[in-house]
């Protein structure tokens, strides 16, 4: 009689994993088959040895080394959940910067280096309405026209975020002055 069809269930039975509905059949077979009883005993012996592996002591040095390495990794700059947000922060900063740059320009000439930080808006009381008569000075017109359009110095915009590790620089070539 071939016992191979029982092996799978015997392996489960030896470890107490056989569903209740199949136990009676295996016990009946084990009662009459010496070879399968040997198999069951060997399987139990193997499980006992596996259980001993759990109790084998680990070297303290090995555990300590893992902990040291974890600490070292955590100590590296940028390894944190805040670090995981860095790309998002950078994107947000870039979008904000683009918004600032695309805002309609005022007549004031930009300085060579503009620090864009938290914008401070100072309310100004409206001045009394005055009639302004445009006066054209010939010399001024000439001065404006005279030099052939010279490009201004490049505009460097430094965008400072809350995270000191993230600073966005934006280099802009200015249009030639005098147009």
CA 41 – CA 14 distance, rounded (Å): 8
Contact status, residue 159 vs residue 93, Cβ threshold 8 Å? yes
Q: Does 51 bind another protein (CB under 8 A)?
A: yes
Segment interacting with another protein (CB under 8 A) among 27-35, 69-77, 133-141, 154-162 = 69-77
Alpha-carbon distance 113 to 133, whole Å?
34
How many whole angstroms separate alpha carbon 115 and alpha carbon 159? Answer: 6
Does residue 69 interact with another protein by CB under 8 A? yes
Residue 165 binds to another protein (criterion: CB under 8 A): no
Work out how close the CB of 35 gets to another protein at its nearest, in angstroms, rounded to a whole number: 13
Which CA distances in Å does 52 have to 38, 57, 172? Answer: 21, 10, 70
Window 72 to 91, contacts with another protein (CB under 8 A)? 73-75, 79-82, 84
Shortest distance, position 1 Cβ to another protein, whole Å: 19
Q: Which of the ranges 9-17, 113-121, 144-152, 161-169 carries the binding residues for another protein, by CB under 8 A?
A: 9-17
When asked if residue 116 is in the footprint of another protein (CB under 8 A), the reply is no
Q: SS3 string of 162-176?
A: CCCCCEEEEEECCCE
Q: Which is nearer to another protein, 43 or 156 (CB)?
A: 43
112 φ, ψ (degrees, to nearest 5): -60, -40
Q: Which residues bind another protein (CB under 8 A)?
A: 7-9, 11-12, 14-15, 17, 39, 42-43, 46-47, 49-54, 56, 58, 60-71, 73-75, 79-82, 84
């Amino acid at each position: 009689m071939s016992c191979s069809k029982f092996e799978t269930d015997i392996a489960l039975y030896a470890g107490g994993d056989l569903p209740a509905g199949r136990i009676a059949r295996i016990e009946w077979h084990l009662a009459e088959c010496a070879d399968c009883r040997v198999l069951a005993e060997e399987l139990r012996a193997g499980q006992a040895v596996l259980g001993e592996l759990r109790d084998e002591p680990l070297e303290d040095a090995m555990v300590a080394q893992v902990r040291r390495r974890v600490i070292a990794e955590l100590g590296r700059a940028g390894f944190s959940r805040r670090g995981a947000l860095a790309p998002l922060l950078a994107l947000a900063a870039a979008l904000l910067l683009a918004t600032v740059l695309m805002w309609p320009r005022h007549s004031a000439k930009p300085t060579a280096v503009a620090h864009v930080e938290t914008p401070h808006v100072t309310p100004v009381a409206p001045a009394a309405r005055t009639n302004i008569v445009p006066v054209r000075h010939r010399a001024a017109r000439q001065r404006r026209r005279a030099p052939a359009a010279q490009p201004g110095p490049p505009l460097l915009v430094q965008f400072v975020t809350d995270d000191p590790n993230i600073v966005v620089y934006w280099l802009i070539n200015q249009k030639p002055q005098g147009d």
